[in-house]
Amino acid sequence: MPKRSYSVLFKNKIKRFKKVTNVDPDKSVSIRSFLIGSISHGISEVKNVLESEDLFSTIDCLKKLGVKIKKSGKKNYLIYGKGLGSLYIKKNSLLNCGNSGTCARLLIGILSTTPSIEVRIKGDKSLNKRNMIKLIKIMNEFGAQFHPKNKFNLPLKMISSAIPTGIVYKTGVSSQLKSAAILASTNAYGQSTVVENKNFESRDHTENILLKNSNILKIRKEKNKSIIKISGKGHLECLKLSVFGDPSSAAFLAAITMLTPNSYLKIKNVGLNPKRTGFYRLMKMHGAKIIYEKVRRNNTNELVGDICIKSSKLKPIRASAKIYPSMPDEYPISFIIAALTPGVHVFKGISDLSNKESSRAYEIKKILNQIGIKCKLTRDQMKIFGTNKIKRKSIKVSSLGDHRICMSSAVLSLVTSCPVHIRGFETVNTSSPSFLKTIKALGGKFEIKKAS
C-alpha cells in the first residue's frame, strides 16, 4: 500500500524548556543488523530496532530472499540466518528498497557475490534519482553485471558474479560504499582489502558488527590509513545486540536546544561513535554547550552515552572537508544553525550532499533565501551569511522525499516563528517516526494536514 501523504505546518516559536528524552533507535545499525543477520549462521536477536519505513523495506526484501524474520517483542526481532551465499530469489523478481539508500547499496553488495542471483532492484522516486555509478563499478570488480548498460540509477537489473574473487578497494567518504564492498567480500573467493584514509574515515558500524568474526575480518591501523582485510567464504556468527539512539536524529533536538534561550535537554542512550559525532564536535568547537555523560562501550564495541545540551551562543562555523564523513546527515541542520548565527560560515567538502535523498545544500539554500539569508553555493562549498535579523515570512517546502530537509525546516520554524509549510512530511518516518511526538513533548506546536 502507498504511504499516506501529509504535510505539516509549523508557525509558533517553541518556549524555553528543560527536559530529558530519548531519540529513535539508530537507523544505520538497525538496517545493518538485519542484513548481516540474514547471512550469518543461527538465529540473530536484535533489540530496540528502529521500526521505520526504511527498515520495513529492508525486511520485505530479505523475506523475498528467503529469510525468516520474526518479531519477538516491542522493537525486538529474531533473524533466522541462512549463511553466506544462501540467499535465493526467483529469476527476474523485483526487490523494492523504498527510500533506503543503505538497504539498496548494502543489499546489492551482498547479492553481487551470492550465487545465481538475477534480480530487478528499484526504490521510490527519491532513491531512483540517486547516482549508483560508484557502487556499480565496485561490484563490477567482483564480476557482477548491471543492466541496462551505462545506466547508473535505479531501477536496474543485477546479475551476480558466478565466480567472485577478492578485490582491493580504496574508500571515499561514503560508509555505504565501504560497507557494500566489505559485505560483497565476505562471499568472494580469497581475500579482499579495503583501504581507508585516516583523514576521511566514515562510520564503521559494519566493521564493528563483524569484528567478533576474527576469521572473516581483521583491521590493521597504520599511520595514515586503516587496512581492512576480509577473508571470503567463511562462517559468520549470529548477532545479539541492542540498538542505541541515533546521533543523527538527536542532532535536530540538540539544534532546537542550542537556539532556544534558557533551555536544557538530556538525550539518553545515544550512539557516540567518533565516526558519527562530527556534528557535536563541530558545534562544541564553535561554542556549543554540549557534554557527554555515562559513556560506556556496548557488546559491538560502540560508545554509548547521554548527550546534555544547553542554550548556546555560537561563533561563525568553519567546517573543513575532513569532518564530512562523520556528519553527512547533519549538514542540513548545521546550515540552519549557521543561518541564525551572525557571521560568515563556511562548509567545505560537501559535493557528496548532491547525491543524498535530495541535493541537500541546494534545497537548504532555497529555503534560506526565502527569509533573506544570503548563501553562496559551489559544487564543493557552502558559504552562509548568518544573521539574527531574518525576514519573518512564510516558507513553503515542496515534497522532496528527504527526511533531513523536512526536519531541518521544522527546526527553523520552531526557533524563529517563521511559518513553514512542509509537504511530504511522511518521509520523516523513514528515519525518525517519533520526531513529531518528541517535538510536542518539548513544547513545540504544529498542525498536520492531510494531502488533498
- Whether residue 79 contacts residue 69, with contact meaning beta carbons closer than 8 Å, is answered with yes
Q: How many CA atoms lie within 13 A of 252 on its CB side?
A: 29
The confidence score (pLDDT) of residue 452 equals 53
The confidence score (pLDDT) of residue 2 equals 46
The confidence score (pLDDT) of residue 355 equals 82
The confidence score (pLDDT) of residue 206 equals 97
CA dihedral over 344, 325, 311, 402, signed as positive or negative = positive
The confidence score (pLDDT) of residue 401 equals 84
Measured CA to CA, the distance from residue 298 to residue 29 in angstroms comes to: 13
In the chain, which residues have pLDDT < 70?
1-3, 451-452
6-25+244-450 against 27-242: fold identical = yes
Q: Where are the alpha helices (DSSP H) in 159-277?
A: 175-185, 205-210, 247-259
- Whether residue 183 contacts residue 109, with contact meaning beta carbons closer than 8 Å, is answered with yes
- To the query of whether residue 54 is one of the catalytic residues in this protein, the response is no
The confidence score (pLDDT) of residue 391 equals 84
Does residue 182 sit in helix, strand or coil?
A: helix
- Which 8-state DSSP code applies to residue 77? E
Q: Please return the burial class of 344, using the count of CB atoms within 10 Å of its CB with bins 0-12, 13-18 and 19+.
A: middle
The confidence score (pLDDT) of residue 3 equals 64
The confidence score (pLDDT) of residue 283 equals 98
Domain 27-242 matching CATH 3.40.50.970: the answer reads no
Task: Kindly write down the DSSP assignment for every residue of 391-451, as one continuous string.
Answer: ----EEE---S-HHHHHHHHHHHHHH---EEES-GGGGGGT-TTHHHHHHHHT---EEEE-
Domain regions of the chain by residue span: 6-25+244-450, 27-242
Question: Which residue is catalytic, options 26, 54, 124, 329?
Answer: 329
CATH number of the domain at 6-25+244-450, please?
A: 3.65.10.10
The confidence score (pLDDT) of residue 1 equals 39
The confidence score (pLDDT) of residue 450 equals 80
Write out the three cell numbers for 27.
537507523
Residues 101-149: tens digit of each pLDDT? 999 999 999 999 999 999 999 999 989 999 999 999 999 999 999 999 9
The confidence score (pLDDT) of residue 4 equals 81
